[in-house]
Amino acid sequence: MLDAAVEWLAASGRAGQWGTDPISADPRRREAAVRWAESARPRPAPGPQRGCVLLRVDCYRGPDVALVRYYESQGFVATDEFTVDLPRGPWPGQVLEQRLA
Q: What is the pLDDT of residue 8?
A: 87
Helices (H), strands (E): how many in the chain? Answer: 3, 4
Residues 56 and 31 in one domain: no
pLDDT at 36: 79
62, 24: one domain: no
Question: pLDDT tens digits, residue range 45-87?
Answer: 665 666 678 899 999 998 899 999 999 999 999 999 999 998 8
Could you tell me the CA-to-CA distances from 30 to 4, 22, 40, 44, 69 in Å, in that order? 14, 9, 15, 26, 28
Residues 48 and 95 in one domain: yes
Phi and psi angles of residue 84, each rounded to the nearest 5 degrees, phi first: -110, 130
Which pLDDT value is given to residue 13? 83
Instruction: Look at residue 69 in the predicted model and tell me its pLDDT.
Output: 94
Predicted TM-score (pTM) of the model is: 0.66
Range of the domain at 9: 1-41
